[in-house]
Amino acid sequence: MPIYNAPVEDMMFLFNKLRNNKKYNEIEKYKEVNSDLVKDILEEAAKISQNLILPLAKSGDENPPKLENGIVRTSPGYKEAYEKFIEDGWISLSCDPKYGGQGMPKTVSAFFDEMLSSACLSFKLYSELTIGAYNCILKHGSDEIKNKYLPKMVEGKWSGTMCLTEPVCGTDLGLLKSKAEEQSDGTYKISGQKIFITSGDHDLTENIIHLVLARATDSPKGTKGISLFLVPKFIVKEDGNLGTRNGVSTGSIEEKMGIKASATCVLNFDEAAGYMIGPKNKGLNSMFTMMNLERIVVGIQGLGISEIAYQNSLSYAKERKQGKANNAKSENGADNIIEHADIRRSLLNMKSIIEGERALCFWLSQQTEVSLNHSDEKVKQEASDFVSLLTPVVKSMFTDLGMEITSEAMQIHGGYGFTKDLGIEQLYRDNRITPIYEGTNSVQAADLVFRKLVTKNDDIIDKYLNLIKEEINISEDKIQPHIKQLNYYLDILTKFTTWIKEKIKDSKDDASAACNDYLKVLGLVATGHAWIKVLEASFKDYDNNKDFYEDKIQTANFYFNRVLPRAENHFKTAITGSKYIMDFKFN
């Protein structure tokens, strides 16, 4: 079983030193969320992640859920762990106190999301979609719906799902066939089949609240005719108690490459009672509340799995002996592989990416809170635009680099990494879904380029580039070499942005072929921006914790010299265009 120690010190560094966003600090309701409170929460979160959740990863992988007589039985130990999980109130961490939540900001809950992703992604998924469904209902549900369903979801007694994909459609939801027939009492009968439904059925909660996209029988074809419906597994009576089983059944559980302990189900809806959420024919708008937040969380999944892969690689490299290093540490026999330059390069590559991503995620968490809770509508809108811009970046880059990092972890472990003995191959398998679900990474890149750079609100990418320029205008002499480096790649990103805006107008194939490269350049520069903020805090507070800050400075040095330069290659290859791609004749 892999080892895992939650990086509480690094998380607290970010919370204490990078929580300097003026607009975030103006949010009144978070004024009392202080360092001592957050440290207590994270230390308890670390304990439950390491001691209760981590052991479930291997056992669940070896003993996945089973469908028995129409009932999904989760992996051994999951039910007991889930009971403890909700008893301690972990699902309610970031939920509204009005419905029984603790009201913590996403700057705190994102850290817990990372810990759970590191410990056992399969277990995390049973509660993750509940929070997504909660957020969607909170924003778009009627007061009656919210009062009826949210308290039990916040408590964790009821869970939630997101039901979009069908056999005939994945990302192209305009093709969906699920239908909704309106009844005389205003409810709907929902019929259709949904596939790849995470936590679609299980025995952990008393009820499961499905959020289902379907087309009313009198609605137009295409995406403009899609509505969103709340469809409970069990009908909820007027007094809040559970009634009869609704017309929802599990057809099968998918057999998957990874996250095997997560019950990914085929669900059949047979005239199931459903309740419309949000306006009719505006279901995609409502569902995107859930999907956009979920995409950020998927990025955090990639970060969490990267962290545990790195920790185990570092531990193994310190113990495994192989060959003589050039600096010849040992007098007799072989050296630990951490003494070899290429192994050290690989470890620093992991570490510099992970810590940069965590800092970027913390910045994005602050922007998310500003977009939801600031009193000034103009400030809220600008923050919302930044979140919208960087959501596909975090989802795609964190998960793609998660594949790189888990692959490198296997390489460091050698043959033992390829076997099941140490659990490294499971990390690789579990992470492989993250670049696929919640919209594949190629879809995210296209969304970024064609929909997020410039919107009806403004030229968002230019606003963001200007923000970076303002925030790296720092006088500290020791940071200047890295600011110079970032400015060089910021200039490349600016040129790339101008090129891609032009191609969107006159050659969409060129723009489409460059989408992934553009996303990566933006992500690498955004992470460099986060590293500059880390460096500023590190030099300012250096004498108070020299070992910690020296580690930060040297890790940043690797990022700027070895990781950030990838941006130039992405730019150079992208601007070669698409003609030689589109003209190629496949046999």
- Count the Cβ atoms, other than its own, within 10 Å of residue 271: 13
How far apart (Å, rounded) are the C-alpha atoms in residues 397 and 516?
A: 10
Q: From 141, 271, 145, 125, select the one nearest 201 (Cα to Cα).
A: 125
Supply the pLDDT for residue 328: 67
How far apart (Å, rounded) are the C-alpha atoms in residues 281 and 278?
A: 9
Domain ranges, residue 491: 440-587
Report if residue 523 sits inside a domain. Answer: yes
- Listed in sequence order, the DSSP H helices in 448-507 are 460-471, 480-506
Supply the pLDDT for residue 329: 67
- Please write the tens of the pLDDT for every residue from 499-518: 999 999 999 999 999 999 99
Axis crossing angle, helix 54-62 with helix 78-87, rounded to the nearest 10: 150
- Please write the tens of the pLDDT for every residue from 535-582: 999 999 999 999 999 999 999 999 999 999 999 999 999 999 999 999
Q: From 214, 201, 199, select the one nearest 270 (Cα to Cα).
A: 214
Report if residue 382 sits inside a domain. Answer: no
Supply the pLDDT for residue 290: 72
Q: Name residues of the chain where pLDDT drops below 50.
A: none
Three-state SS at 301:
helix
Pairing mode, if any, of strands 207-216 and 179-182?
parallel
Encoded tokens for 352: 């510099």
Three-state SS at 222:
coil
Rg of the chain (C-alpha set): 24
Residue in 438, 471, 502, 550 annotated catalytic: 438
Tell me the whole-structure pTM to 2 decimals.
Answer: 0.96
Report if residue 543 sits inside a domain. Answer: yes
Structural domain count of the chain: 1
Supply the pLDDT for residue 47: 98
Residue whose structure tokens are 């003993």: 63
Burial 442-461 (b: 16+ CB within 10 A, else e): bbbbbbbbeebbeeeeeebb
- Count the Cβ atoms, other than its own, within 10 Å of residue 80: 11
How far apart (Å, rounded) are the C-alpha atoms in residues 293 and 505?
A: 30
> Amino acid letter at 342?
D
What does the H/E/C string look like for 315-333? HHHHHCECCCCCCCCCCCC
Verify whether residue 28 is a known catalytic residue: no
Report if residue 302 sits inside a domain. Answer: no
Report if residue 16 sits inside a domain. Answer: no
Supply the pLDDT for residue 362: 97
Report if residue 161 sits inside a domain. Answer: no
Report if residue 556 sits inside a domain. Answer: yes
> Amino acid letter at 128?
E
Report if residue 148 sits inside a domain. Answer: no
